[in-house]
Structure 1
Amino acid sequence: MTEIDVGRFGIWRRDAELDGEVARKVEGLGYGTVWIGGSPDGELDIAERLLAATDHIVVATGIVNMWATPAEQVAASYHRLNDRHGGRFLLGVGIGHPEASREYRSPYGTIVDYLDRLDAEGVPVSGRVLAALGPKVLRLAAGRAAGAHPYLVTPEHTRRARAELGDGRLLAPEQKVVLDADPARGRALGRSSVAGTYLKLRNYTANLKRLGWTGDDIADGGSDALIDALVAHGGPATAAARLTEHLDAGADHVAVQLLTAPGEDVLPGLRTLAETLGLR
């Protein structure tokens, strides 16, 4: 387990959607961690800005892409951030998507080699987590990292992931949320986030099939049942219940990705959710 206290709930936002003001307000709402999505670059200047703008919230990457960033570069950034900001930085790394790299080959071997190089550069196991979906990489996370940060998963995946990780390792899944009591609107917004990208990436579709979803569920933008499983939509109590399901299934922390209409301020929804979860 990492020595960093990530709290029970955090937020997940793409790097382009984060700045110091957002991080300060999220910290004030009681969330424990800001997860930087969108494969931030290896210099991690965005993490530096978020840490400098806040007092105690943890900043984590979700994730640095192993194909895009040499381990030596991200290790230097890790040490810089850790030295300057008192152990509030958690390094999340992962293999990314085969569709995104022409060099994608032997993914498991690449992960092992990358972790070996982080070891050589002095990045401690307790300071890093691994993006992991399938059993083999989850078991690797149990032995070579503080834990796992699975993305686009359900509470059932969390239950299985905990069984693979065993006790004593951080399990911090991401969960998409839409705060809208209208089922049609909530599902439509959830589908717009999931279908165009993730349901066309084979690491995610393979994981969904391991969980029992079929090709028909995944095709044509995803069945209603699949979208409902991947995106918690409804009122604040409904969303909070889904997040709590992950904790009941074995998660230590849940990274909340709150989906909103284009241009809509995310902070009011995060405030409402924080109040419902009892974070304030």
Structure 2
Amino acid sequence: MAVAPGRYGIWAVRDQLTPELAARIEQLGYGAIWIGSAPPDLRLAESLLGATERVVVATGIVNMWSSSASEVAASYARVAGRYPGRFLLGVGIGHPEATGEYRNPYATIVSYLDELDAGGVPVEGRVLAALGPKVLALARDRTAGAHPYLTTPQHTREAREILGAGKLLAPEQKVVLDTDVRRARALGREKVRNPYLKLSNYRRNLLRLGFTEEDLDTASDALVDALVIHGDAGAVAAGLTAHLDAGADHVCAQILVREEAEYVPALTALAASLELPAGVIS
């Protein structure tokens, strides 16, 4: 069964997500919840699905180095069987800086997808973290689509050209709901500089998009403004919609806040600016 995450979703680290927050996200009209760095047993995904009625839950991502394909396939069968059409398995290779085992990344992805095939995970039930052309093409050929992270609408446009029509393109986009430019940039810079701007996969992709080594080394204003949309809720909503205009089917916002108490108000304000009808998945 194909999974339809709607046009707008929320990406959050797994420690941030609770069943209560999932219910609130669904109530506000978001179409999907993406679990950052999801564990392979998928118990968190199951708890979020159990607390909601319609919203899609996706992993963004299960890391191939730390999660065996056989374990993930068994977990997928359990969750998708209980919640048909509402769970999307996002998997990815991660980064060489994160594991001493990192080697032959492309061959490893292919082998992992082969094992998911053998374990019964359907093509339409999984997406691949993909940035460069080669892995985007693999996402097109072996999965339901791609889930790029730390990208821009320009990347979305280029990714759509590679994926072609009919494949899901669901980029993540960091946002700060704050009209104070200096304060918003400071928060965005803090979140992207460490660890992302130190990771070679992201650096290569950003250089492909036209940023310079100096932009990356200094976390320049131009780079931060591109990677972290900031402003009032209307400006942030427009920045998310730019991904849809560039060819995305779905965009998931990672809302950055200084204090946890700011999170639900920001979530609510953004939903209003996106004109999400409360209680209806969009």
The one of 123, 130, 133 aligned to 1:125: 123
Deviation at 1:264, TM superposition (A): 3.0
The one of 256, 276, 280 aligned to 1:259: 256
Name the counterpart of 2:25.
26
The superposition leaves residues 249-280 of structure 1 with CA deviations (integer Å, 9 ceiling, x where unpaired) of 00000010000003334111111111100112
Query: For 1:255, what is the secondary structure of its paired residue?
Result: strand
Name the counterpart of 2:241.
244
Name the counterpart of 1:9.
8
Which ranges in structure 1 are unaligned for 5 or more consecutive residues? none
Quick one: distance in 1 between partners of 2:77 and 2:276? 30
Name the counterpart of 1:143.
141
Q: Is 1:49 paired with 2:47?
A: yes
TM-score (norm 2): 0.97
> In the alignment, residue 10 of structure 1 is paired with which amino acid?
G
Quick one: distance in 1 between partners of 2:145 and 2:245? 17
Name the counterpart of 1:157.
155
Deviation at 1:87, TM superposition (A): 2.3
Name the counterpart of 1:271.
268
Quick one: distance in 1 between partners of 2:58 and 2:168? 13
Quick one: distance in 1 between partners of 2:236 and 2:39? 31
Quick one: distance in 1 between partners of 2:261 and 2:191? 15
Q: How many residues align?
A: 277
Query: For 2:120, what is the secondary structure of its paired residue?
Result: coil
> In the alignment, residue 31 of structure 2 is paired with which amino acid?
G
Quick one: distance in 2 between partners of 1:41 and 1:11? 18
Quick one: distance in 2 between partners of 1:165 and 1:277? 26
Quick one: distance in 2 between partners of 1:20 and 1:166? 36
Quick one: distance in 1 between partners of 2:119 and 2:40? 14
TM-score (norm 1): 0.98
Name the counterpart of 2:79.
81
Quick one: distance in 2 between partners of 1:35 and 1:228? 23
Query: For 1:11, what is the secondary structure of its paired residue?
Result: strand
Deviation at 1:85, TM superposition (A): 1.4
The superposition leaves residues 190-225 of structure 1 with CA deviations (integer Å, 9 ceiling, x where unpaired) of 1111011100000000000010111000013x1100
Quick one: distance in 2 between partners of 1:263 and 1:80? 32
Instruction: Kindly indicate whether the alpha-carbon contact (under 8 Å) linking 2:57 and 2:87 is maintained by their aligned counterparts in 1.
Output: yes
Deviation at 1:86, TM superposition (A): 2.3
Instruction: Kindly indicate whether the alpha-carbon contact (under 8 Å) linking 2:95 and 2:201 is maintained by their aligned counterparts in 1.
Output: yes
Quick one: distance in 2 between partners of 1:79 and 1:197? 33
Structure with higher RCO (Cα < 8 A, 6+ apart): 2
Which ranges in structure 2 are unaligned for 5 or more consecutive residues? 278-282
Name the counterpart of 1:227.
224
The one of 88, 91, 114 aligned to 2:89: 91
Give me the CA root mean square deviation: 0.8
> In the alignment, residue 120 of structure 1 is paired with which amino acid?
A
Name the counterpart of 1:114.
112
Query: For 1:264, what is the secondary structure of its paired residue?
Result: helix
Query: For 1:41, what is the secondary structure of its paired residue?
Result: coil
The superposition leaves residues 87-122 of structure 1 with CA deviations (integer Å, 9 ceiling, x where unpaired) of 211000000111011000000000000000000111
> In the alignment, residue 15 of structure 1 is paired with which amino acid?
R
Structure 1 segments (4+ residues) deviating >6 Å: none
Name the counterpart of 1:182.
180
